Amino acid sequence: MTWESYAALLALGAFHGLNPAMGWLFAVARGMQERSRTVLLRSLPPIAAGHLASVAIVAAIISATRSVVAANVVGITGGVLLVGFGLWRLLSERHFRWAGMRLSAAQLAGWSFLMSSAHGAGLMLLPVLATTPVPGSAHAGHELPGAGGSPLAALTGLGAAGVHTVAMFTVMAGCALVVYEFLGVNILRRAWFNVDRLWAGVLVAAGALTIAVTA
Amino acid sequence: MTRWTPDPTFYPSPSDAAGAPAEKLAYVAAFDRTAEKPDAIAVVDTDPASDSYGRVVGWTDLPHTGDELHHFGWNACSSALCPTAPHPHVERRYLIVPGLRSSRVYVLDTKDDPRQPRLVKEISAEELAAKADYSRPHTVHCGPDGIYLSALGAGRGDDGPGGIAILDHQTFDVRGQWEADRGDQRLAYDFWWHLTQDVLVTSEWGTPSMIEDGLVPELLLGRKYGHRIHFWDLAKRSLVQTVDLGDQYQMALELRPAHDPAATYGFVGVVISVEDLSASVWLWHRSGGSFEVRKVIDIPAEPADPADLPPALQPFAAVPPLVTDIDLTVDDKFLYVSCWGTGELRRYDVSDPFQPVFAGSVHLGGIVRRTPHPAFPDEPLAGGPQMVEVSRDGKRVYVTNSLYGSWDDQFYPHGVGAWLARLDASEDSFTLDTRFFPHGDEFRGRRVHQTRLQGGDASSDSYCFPSPSTRT
């Protein structure tokens, strides 16, 4: 992992954290319902955990498979899938459904997991993961895998997901607290631009970038 | 296609919505009782600064006849800001308009020309029956994840059970039946929810065979109309609790939960008690884990000369108030109560929902009184204040006069007419606006039922965030 990779992971984490639909708005709503900052703060870890789980699965799979399959195959295939998924998000009329406002911490983590997965949060890390050298091979992108590379590579992916989630958690907590303490939710009416459309655009761009870098 | 910024008519909390700009237009469901002409959505100018204030300025005929338009609603509203399934960039632009008699559902687009809504989709009775097994669609509410549409009858025939169908809030496709487990619920009418508490409430009128040809005296005296309200788990879609008001209380119709998302109480209006012809309003509230109800408003029948009464009421020598609609202001302070029989609109201060305080009344129409509108003092009016709609800021109240075709004919056998009145409300008073009274020929021979206000009103939005003033 290079510094550039970490910076990209952090930036994408911040982007995910910024999206009200990814969790912080839910935390604010719970806090306001119970009139309790503590409830808000307690809502954040499960949301972050769900996000981490969603991202980590994708990241671990990408990192691990990169060490057993030629990287450019993974990169290009992944890139094409990503562009397709992004376009589908952009153009489709489908919307995420989840019932209920009264959720336990475990259910909240489940909600966050599904929300992140349905939006392709983990896939957005593909350009970073696909260009990160695999541990144990100096030029993994151009070599067939060495024995024993996979578990280590998966760990790299998990590490990447962790870094990403720290940034996501920090930005999410910041947004939630600022809105809860100072701004009030009425700010949403003016400031909540259509993150979903931007999100879809970023997915497409991430896919194109992955293809460009690995091809 | 979705918007880049949230729909400006969406508000996170009730107090934010109460600060919304005043509506410029009202949409009114108008139907032809003879089923010879098409039903229509009439568009009325509600801007006092406009030259055409108080007049019908737009009209959209529907393609069929005999629909009997009744209630309708918006495809999307403030609940789109709710965090469980946020869709703030959908638009409040489509009116979902069911035909209560035909079971068709129309979708009208109000965006391009708000004065001439354009028909963009029609759901057939067959499609509603095939996909959700319901007929006689009645009440529309925009939920965070779809459009909820109640229906009085099952998909085939004239019997129940009635319930709720779900429509996609962007494609308007019928997604299916909402209920996962309805228990013994069979009669349907209104529904609404405590969205943040995952509670849905439903009320009871009757199945199509019990209502479509008019009120059936044997069923009423046999106490067969609905008298229960049901509490459901909104997330699990299952019936959790049923509360029986008592079988003398016939027809528990309109449900008005508190708008404050942190509150868990609401009001339900009961049309008539078979014991003394009185009408009543009940409060439901949560006590511990379950719901309880109590009667908080009782409106007695008024003695009358049988000669002034329609045949169905002559044996009783009294005119029943017939509370057919109620409406709660967005700030949860005032409850408006329609007495369609006596021709009266009452207002109660429900700041303490357990102890409503009578806060004024206006007479208009009525079976016996036939009170004229002050702007047309020589025209006795038939019908009475029926569907009542309050503006988001609570300063304006709109009432229409038709209840339901066959029931209009029973209670107002000499003709019910058609009128829409507006009242100006303040903390201290509410009075009829003498400049605003579209009636008679303005509605082209149709009767008028429900009003929806451009941008939203007191009975169409749900909020997920408490008002700042109620936070500590």
Q: What is the pLDDT of residues B119-176, one digit of tens each?
A: 999 999 999 999 999 999 999 999 988 999 999 999 999 999 999 999 998 899 999 9
Q: Give percent of chain B above pLDDT 70.
A: 99
Any bridge partners for residue B290, and if so which?
B287
pLDDT tens by residue, B67-98: 999 999 999 999 999 998 888 889 999 999 99
| Per-residue pLDDT at B98 | 98
Q: What is the ipTM of this complex?
A: 0.86
How does B337-364 read in b/e, with b if 16+ C-beta sit within 10 Å?
bbbbbbbbbbbbebeebeebeebbebbb
Structure tokens of A121? 């949060």
B281 compared with B145, residue with greater pLDDT:
B281
Instruction: Report yes or no: B256 and B263 within 8 Å, Cβ to Cβ.
Output: no
Interface contact A96, partner B, CB < 8 A: yes
CB contact under 8 A, B234 and A99: yes
CB contact under 8 A, B84 and A111: yes
CA distance B18 to chain A (A): 13
Query: From CA A28, how far away is CA A30, in angstroms rounded?
Result: 5
The alpha carbon dihedral of A123, A127, A132, A138 has a sign of positive
Interface contact B85, partner A, CB < 8 A: yes
| Per-residue pLDDT at B470 | 55
pLDDT bucket at B294, cuts 50 / 70 / 90: very high
Instruction: Report yes or no: B102 and B120 within 8 Å, Cβ to Cβ.
Output: no
Q: Chain-wide mean pLDDT for chain B?
A: 96
Interface contact B176, partner A, CB < 8 A: no
Query: From CA B155, how far away is CA B168, in angstroms rounded?
Result: 19
For the cut 60, the answer to whether the pLDDT of residue B423 exceeds it is yes
CA distance A54 to chain B (A): 18
Interface contact A192, partner B, CB < 8 A: yes
CB contact under 8 A, B83 and A29: yes
CA distance A59 to chain B (A): 26
Half-sphere exposure of A88 toward its Cβ, with a 13 Å CA cutoff? 11
Burial environment of residue B156 by CB neighbours within 10 A (0 to 12, 13 to 18, 19 or more): exposed
pLDDT bucket at B298, cuts 50 / 70 / 90: very high
Residues of A in contact with B195 (CB under 8 A): 101
Q: Give percent of chain A above pLDDT 70.
A: 80
Instruction: Report yes or no: B132 and B153 within 8 Å, Cβ to Cβ.
Output: no
Q: Given B83, B87, B471, which is nearest A26 (Cβ)? A: B83
Residues of A in contact with B6 (CB under 8 A): 188-189, 192
Query: From CA A68, how far away is CA A58, in angstroms rounded?
Result: 16
Structure tokens of B292? 């309880």
Question: Which residues, including other chains, have CB under 8 Å from residue B140's CB and lie 6 or more apart?
Answer: B71, B72, B73, B74, B96, B98, B147, B148, B149
A71 compared with B363, residue with greater pLDDT:
B363
Q: Given A20, A35, A99, which is nearest B86 (Cβ)? A: A20
pLDDT tens by residue, B225-268: 999 999 999 988 999 999 999 999 999 999 999 999 999 999 99
Interface contact B235, partner A, CB < 8 A: yes
Structure tokens of B160? 């129940």
Is the peptide bond prior to B320 cis by the omega test (within 30 degrees of 0)? no
Interface contact A139, partner B, CB < 8 A: no
For the cut 80, the answer to whether the pLDDT of residue A82 exceeds it is no
Question: Which residues, including other chains, have CB under 8 Å from residue B219's CB and lie 6 or more apart?
Answer: B206, B210, B225
pLDDT bucket at A68, cuts 50 / 70 / 90: low
Q: Tell me which amino acid residue B272 is.
A: I
B379 compared with B86, residue with greater pLDDT:
B379
Interface contact A188, partner B, CB < 8 A: yes
Interface contact B193, partner A, CB < 8 A: no
Instruction: Count A/B contacts: CB-CB distance under 8 Å.
Output: 99
Choice among A13-17, A185-189, B105-109, B304-308 with the minimum mean pLDDT: A185-189
Q: 3-class DSSP state for residue B290?
A: strand
pTM given for the model: 0.92
Length of chain B: 472
For B175-211, the DSSP string reads EEE--SB-TT------EEEEGGGTEEEE-B---HHHH
Residues 305-324 of B with CB under 8 A from A: none
Instruction: Report yes or no: B73 and B172 within 8 Å, Cβ to Cβ.
Output: no
Query: From CA B132, how far away is CA B388, in angstroms rounded?
Result: 30
| Per-residue pLDDT at A145 | 41
Give, to the nearest 10 degrees, the angle between helix A71-91 and helix A37-66.
140
| Per-residue pLDDT at B225 | 98
| Per-residue pLDDT at A60 | 83
Residues of A in contact with B170 (CB under 8 A): 93, 95
CB contact under 8 A, A192 and B82: no
| Preferred mutation among B84, B148, B193 to probe A, highest tally of A CBs within 10 A | B84
CA distance B126 to chain A (A): 25
Structure tokens of B244? 């029986």
